[in-house]
Amino acid sequence: DTSDRLDLADPVVRFVHASPLAPNLTLFHGAVMQSDVMDKPYKFASNYFNVNIGLNTWTAKTSFGDVTLGSVPIDAVRGNKYTIVALPGTNADSSVYLITDPYNKPLSSDSARLRIMNAAFNASNIDLYMSPLGADIMAPTAVPTIAGTAYKTSGPASGGDSIDIPGGTYKLTITNAGTKVILFTGQVAFGNNADILLLSVPNSLLPGVIKTLIKFEGSASVTEVPPL
| pLDDT one-digit tens code per residue, 68-87 | 999 999 999 998 999 999 99
What pTM did the predictor assign? 0.93
Are the C-beta atoms of 81 and 50 separated by less than 8 Å? no
Predicted pLDDT of residue 101: 94
Rounded Cα distance between 100 and 76, Å, is: 9
- Cβ neighbourhood burial of 135 (10 Å; 0-12, 13-18, 19+): middle
Tell me: the pLDDT tens digits for 148-187?
999 999 999 999 999 999 999 999 999 999 999 999 999 9
Contact between 126 and 200 (Cβ < 8 Å): yes
Per the CB < 8 A criterion, the answer to whether 173 and 227 are in contact is: no
Residues in the chain: 228
How far, in Å, CA of 28 to CA of 74, rounded?
A: 12
Q: Write out residues in the chain with pLDDT < 70, as ranges.
A: 1-8, 91-92, 205-207
Q: Are 224 and 205 in contact (CB under 8 A)?
A: no
